[in-house]
Structures are given as structure tokens and as C-alpha cells.
Amino acid sequence: MVNYYRTMTVRSAIARLTEWEGLNFILTNRVPRRSLTRFMGWFSKIEQPVVRNLSIATWKLFCDVDLTDAAKGEFRSLHDCFIRELRAGARPLDPDPNTLVSPCDAIVGACGRINDGMLLQVKGFSYTLEELLQNAGLAANFRDGVYVTLRLTAGMYHRFHAPHDGCVERVIHVPGDTWNVNPAALKRVDRLYCRNERAVLDFSLTHCSQRIALVTVAAILVAGIRLRFAQLPTARSRGGPTELNCTAQAGRGGELGWFEHGSTIVMLAPRGFELCETAAEGRTLRMGQALMRLP
């Protein structure tokens, strides 16, 4: 009990420090982001028991981590804990088949209508579909549609899933930076999602002729975006996008891939789709909850 209260006191002190946005931004962005991310990718995979136990304990101290719904109770490394799978039934899907479900556990960020190809990062900061997707034809499909920004914090479940029955027909990998994607950075870095490395999943829905897109965005300490059905190009900060054609079928709620730390998914749908009440800025969602309604 004493240790519990000590942990809560330390966590409260850390939380108060991180609430100071200026300090938060400096500590998580004014650092060698790529080098730190590569180091984290290596360090998190160390399976030595002492290193594993200390790193998981430190992670729990800094983040609100819930492992009660994990499929297993023992982990080989911090990385193994990051990308944990869940026990069966831990994320029930919304029963209405006419809804697209949230692809991940997340906090809802900016969301709403796409106005002539423009989306909001936060109030006062906008960006364009074409710059985000790096494909004019795909961007045209969503020009007057809807979008939801889903931010996965470091302590959340890191796997992402299919919002509905369908097929990933193309992946566009865009090289880029690894800025933090937290609120402090979103208020300070213009067009942040368009600067960071990302993978665009072009997803056709089985029961209609519509397409949606999931834009998985990397961030600092995200040592990789992993797809279950395709190998992405080696992460790099410069160069043009790479397109991968594929036919990856997925059922509603089927796993598509995972982040190796917290990050963001921007979900795009064309005109005719409507946001559900759950798609409200600041709301915490779990994978499987209703997010959008089919036309």
C-alpha cells in the first residue's frame, strides 16, 4: 500500500510537469528525434530480465498502462509489452453493421467535415489532403468527406484493426520526420502530420463501392509502423513516397498492424458518411466502438 501511494505521488508530480506545454514540447521535440527513436527501437527489444523489468516499471510510472486485458501476463521485453495482443472479447464490436468502428484505442482529436480538401490539425492549424496522402487521385475521393484524428497515447493498446469488412488494395509509404504528435506539438508545428513518416492504407469496403483511408502516422519513439500483410520500406527521413499494391482482405475488427509506441491514425471517408456521436474531440475510445455511419 505504501509503495502504491509513493507511485501515485511520483506519477502526479510527473503529470504536473508534463502539463507545462512549453517544457513538454522541448523535452519531446528539441532532441535528436531520429536517433532517439532508433535507440528506443533497439533498447525496447532487450530481453534481459533486469532491463525488461526496470523498463516496464519506468514505463508504467510515466504512463497510465492497463495490462488487465492483455492476452498474457508475462512479457519477454518492453517491446513485447508495447505490442501486446488482447484476450478474446476484450474489444467487442459495435453491433450495428452499418457503422465503421474505431480502428484503435485512442483519444479523438480534430474531426468533422473536410472542406474542399482542407482538414484541421488543431484550431488555427490546417493542412491539405494532397500533402497528407501524397496522391492527388486518392485525395480527390475524400475532398468533401469526413475525417477523425485518433491519437494513441504511449500506454494504450497499440494494434490497429479494420473499421469494416474490406480489402487493403494499396499502401502508400511516405518518408518523413518523427515529431511528437501530442497536443503541445500540434499547437506549435505547422502541418505536423504531413511532415512525419506515415503509411496510407487505401481500403475498399466489401458491401458498397466506397473507399476509406487509414493514415497511420509515426512519431518520436515509434520505432516502426508494422503491417500484418506487407513489409514497409526502411524508415527514412527524405525521398518520395513508395506505393505497394496488395489484396489484404480483412473482416470488421480484423487486425491490420501495430505501432511500436503511441502514435496517430487519421481516418478518412468520402461524402455521404456521417460521424457518430462518439467522434467528439477529447473523447477516449476503444477499438470496436462506432465511429462513422455508412451512407
Choosing from 94, 105, 177, 202, the catalytic residue is: 105
Single out the catalytic residue among 55, 77, 102, 263.
Answer: 263
CB-based contact 114:146 (threshold 8 Å): yes
Torsion of CA 188, 192, 195, 197, to 10 degrees: 130
Question: Is there a catalytic annotation at residue 44?
Answer: no
Q: Is 105 a catalytic residue?
A: yes
Residue 273 CA to its chain's centroid (Å): 21
CA separation (Å) from 19 to 62, 88, 252?
13, 35, 37
Q: Is 126 exposed, middle or buried (0-12, 13-18, 19+ CB in 10 A)?
A: middle
Question: Per the residue annotation, which of 44, 79, 158, 161 is the catalytic one?
Answer: 161
Amino acid letter for position 141: N
Q: What is the dihedral of CA 259, 29, 47, 42, to 10 degrees?
A: 90
Q: Is 261 a catalytic residue?
A: no
Q: So which residues are the catalytic ones?
A: 105, 161, 263
